Amino acid sequence: MIKKGLGTTAIHGGDQEGDDIIAPIYQTAIFKHPNGRQIRGRDLKYSREDNPTVNELEKKMTALEGGEDCLAFSSGMAAISTLLLSRTRQGDTIVTSKEVYGATLILMRSLEKFGLKVKCVLNDELEGEIDSSTRIVFVESITNPTLNVPDIKGIAEACRRKGATLAVDNTFATPINFRPLEVGAEYVIHSATKYLGGHNDAIAGVLIGPREGINDAWEWRRNLGGSLDPFAAFLVIRGLKTLKLRVEEQNKKAQEIAEYLEQHRRVNTVHYPGLESSPCHEMAKELMKGFGGVVSFELGVGESVIKFLGGLRLIKTAPSLGGAETLITHPASSSHKNISPEERRELGITDGLVRLSVGLEDTEDLISDLEEALAIA
């Protein structure tokens, strides 16, 4: 088989002779039992277990991340929770970066009530915390919202030595910029709601990993019930066709905007791994082909942020990222509001921090919107 580029794989990955060019939507909950034999294993029967449109997305994501198998879920959080429940048992230790999406951190901590031990540490401390009691290590390849890039190779090596499983949330990087399995991770997760879907119109998640582990997770998915709807799967498949184009364009725009913000007198600090001034720049250059489409930056505290957000016209204040529309959030009062102020401080999430997900509008229009809002901040 000819090795295909990622642009081709996003469109044709998993295609088989006789497949339709455009994946049909199997808008059905049920499938007829096979004639003349008993139903077996993953024979199609009920869409909470399997659905051909969802399976199509799973084949594409397996190919894009270079894994053995994939499951698609009703959200990124369903993918994360199913992985954690399927891979751990009472008494195990989960070591997680604290620099992950707020809901992920809250989920991990809530698992303590089932007898799991959860160690939450900064990215730089992860390697040192992994020991033989560690079942699973969880990290984001570009962290939210301060855009740090952990040493995934080093963490993967420590996991290998201690027999722990490394799971990487690759939502911010996407397989276009980085493929965690190539540097030793065992599982990759995405909120497909973000770049994979790419149009802010579907909630979905995917989990890619070794065949055996994915089989276990399949049992958990069908019992927990976080399966993906076929129409949402169709939307993500459609989004994937332009993934490479979009991500490369968003990398470029985010770099230009980060450089613009860095020289602006009203902006205190800019977090973007593509900036030479970023403490993660060297690590990002070593690991990644591109630095992503999200830029975070700090304004003065208090009124300044409110005035700035209120002054934006084109850029909308809304959650999420990775779509065609440029969106901005204030993490301290949204994604990270349920985390204590001390911990927010430790994570660098100040009250003046805003996170910009650069979309696909013209860069000059985005900069002129930022310019006008910064003038009144």
Beta bridge pairs of residue 140: 169
The C-alpha atoms of residue 100 and residue 343 are separated, in whole angstroms, by: 12
- CB-CB contact of 175 with 64 (8 Å): yes
Which CB atom, from 51 or from 171, has the smaller least distance to ligand PLP? 171
252 assigned to active site? no
48 assigned to active site? yes
187 assigned to active site? no
Query: Residue numbers of the site for ligand PLP (CB under 6 A)?
Result: 75-77, 101, 104, 140, 144, 169, 171-172, 191, 193, 203, 205, 320
101 assigned to active site? yes
As measured in angstroms, the least distance from the Cβ of 98 to ligand PLP is: 13
As measured in angstroms, the least distance from the Cβ of 104 to ligand PLP is: 6
As measured in angstroms, the least distance from the Cβ of 374 to ligand PLP is: 25
Q: Which two three-digit tokens encode residue 137?
A: 């290590």
Which CB atom, from 59 or from 190, has the smaller least distance to ligand PLP? 190
As measured in angstroms, the least distance from the Cβ of 158 to ligand PLP is: 22
Considering the candidates 194, 221, 253, 344, report the single residue annotated as catalytic.
194
Considering the candidates 69, 92, 169, 229, report the single residue annotated as catalytic.
169
The C-alpha atoms of residue 179 and residue 347 are separated, in whole angstroms, by: 25
Collapse the DSSP code of 366 into the 3-class scheme (helix H, G, I; strand E, B; otherwise coil) and give the result: helix
As measured in angstroms, the least distance from the Cβ of 146 to ligand PLP is: 12
The C-alpha atoms of residue 33 and residue 28 are separated, in whole angstroms, by: 14
Considering the candidates 26, 50, 101, 179, report the single residue annotated as catalytic.
101
For residue 209, which of 197, 221, 225, 198 has the smallest C-alpha distance? 221
Which CB atom, from 51 or from 144, has the smaller least distance to ligand PLP? 144
The C-alpha atoms of residue 107 and residue 51 are separated, in whole angstroms, by: 28
Query: What angle, 0 to 180 degrees and rounded to 10, lies between the N-to-C axes of helices 52-65 and 230-240?
Result: 30
As measured in angstroms, the least distance from the Cβ of 114 to ligand PLP is: 21
Which CB atom, from 103 or from 367, has the smaller least distance to ligand PLP? 103
- CB-CB contact of 187 with 207 (8 Å): yes
The C-alpha atoms of residue 64 and residue 14 are separated, in whole angstroms, by: 9
Beta bridge pairs of residue 328: 317, 356
Considering the candidates 15, 45, 48, 369, report the single residue annotated as catalytic.
48
The C-alpha atoms of residue 133 and residue 206 are separated, in whole angstroms, by: 27
The C-alpha atoms of residue 207 and residue 217 are separated, in whole angstroms, by: 9
Q: What are phi and psi of 327, to 5 degrees?
A: -125, 150
Which residue's Cβ has the minimum distance to ligand PLP? Answer: 76
Which CB atom, from 86 or from 170, has the smaller least distance to ligand PLP? 170
CB neighbour list of residue 234: distance below 8 Å, 6 or more residues apart: 23, 25, 53
Which CB atom, from 168 or from 270, has the smaller least distance to ligand PLP? 168
Catalytic positions are 48, 101, 169, 194
